Amino acid sequence: MMKSKAAALTVAERCRSILGANSQAHLNTIKADSKGSKSEIHTSKVHYIFKRGKPYLWVHEGDLHNTNIIIDERGSLSVSNVVPGPLMGLLKSIRKLPARVALAGDVIPLKDDKVQMVTENLRESILSEYEKATQASYAVTALLSSASANCRSRCEILQEILGKSENYAVYKFNIRSCTYVDGSGHSHDLELQNVDAPKAEQLLSFSAKLIDGINQSQARRRALMLFCFEEYNATVRDALMLSIDRKGFDVLGKVAQQATNNDGLSTMQYTWKEFRFSFEEQASDLEAFCSRLIELEEKTLQSVKSYSGLG
């Protein structure tokens, strides 16, 4: 069941969800030469995991970052909300950016023994996520398998670096500041004690595949449309899953609105609006989330049938 009033996530919770769902970030360092640091910035994509509240970065051995931090260890990380499949095109069309977390701090090289320990921790985390996925119910695997072929889970992306670990340098990122930037571009600074990724949260690890699996299914999207009607009395022409978390999920719905044209005639226009849905009980893992989602679909369908005369 859904809560009678949707509970919005706090900024700290949204940050944790983004950091826990993604495994790739854009690292920015100051370009350097033999004369020292310069004002130009070098940016590239790196892999990361969180361990005891700190990000650990895997940077390809040929990347300019490895030279830059010898001269100037200052850097910043930008981690975006996972936006799989048709979502990115839609967000661009409505000029809405994916929410992201911006971290500023210092990039610190690790000694060999520490690199080995962090890499082994990564290996154990990936194996654990794979094991849980293989034990999932049919309802879960059906949703995940509906995702497009190029949509990968967090552990599938991180698997890339395990087989080629000798081609990467590993760093610890000491965070000095954290800012959450929402889809409208508004910034919210966080206290450092609130910055962390959820510990081994399977739901977030598979969130990209789950979101894309739902959005690739017309039946699931029709269910999202019914949610908007039942919970918000909003008639929507289409709907897409935007994000998921332990407390619920966010939906983008295409809402009809009446407008008046230059001739004074009434016309119908459509805008995309965000809707929040919260569970009565938090979903502790992937299995629980899918179970609650399917339960909501069934209950909402029965409710609509009861007052529409179709039941």
Q: How far is CA 7 from CA 206, 222, 278, 282, in A?
A: 23, 23, 6, 11
**Token pair for 83:** 């936006």
* pLDDT digit string, tens, across residues 192-227: 877 776 655 788 999 999 999 999 999 999 999 999
H/E stretch holding 173: strand 168-181
Mean pLDDT, all residues of the chain: 89
3-state class of 221 per DSSP?
A: helix
Residue 165 has pLDDT above 80, yes or no: no
Of 3.20.20.70, 2.30.110.10, 3.40.720.10, 2.40.10.340, the CATH number of 11-201 is 2.30.110.10
**What ranges do the domains of the chain cover?**
11-201, 214-308
**What is the structure's pLDDT at 256?**
85
Determine the Cα–Cα distance for residues 278 and 172; give it in Å rounded to an integer.
35
Could you count the other beta carbons within 10 Å of the beta carbon of residue 119?
Answer: 19
Mean pLDDT across 69-95: 92
Q: Are 234 and 84 in contact (CB under 8 A)?
A: no
**Token pair for 134:** 């293989």
Which CATH superfamily, name and number, covers 214-308? PNP-oxidase-like (3.20.180.10)
Give Dmax over CA atoms of the chain in angstroms: 78
Q: Is the dihedral of CA 263, 264, 270, 273 positive or negative?
A: positive
Mean pLDDT across 260-278: 84
* pLDDT digit string, tens, across residues 91-113: 989 988 899 999 999 999 999 99
**What is the structure's pLDDT at 201?**
72
**What is the structure's pLDDT at 6?**
56
Q: Where are the alpha helices (DSSP H) in the chain?
A: 11-21, 65-71, 87-93, 112-134, 138-145, 154-162, 202-205, 207-215, 218-232, 286-308
Q: What residue type is assigned to position 297 of the chain?
A: E
Residue 307 has pLDDT above 80, yes or no: no
Q: What angle do CA 161, 203, 303 make, to 5 degrees?
A: 150
Bigger pLDDT: 9 or 26?
26
Bigger pLDDT: 285 or 36?
285
Q: 58-72, 156-170, 210-224: lowest mean pLDDT where?
A: 156-170
Q: How confident is the model at residue 298 (pLDDT cuts 50, 70, 90)?
A: very high
State pTM to two decimals: 0.88
Q: How far is CA 189 from CA 13, 127, 182, in A?
A: 13, 35, 11
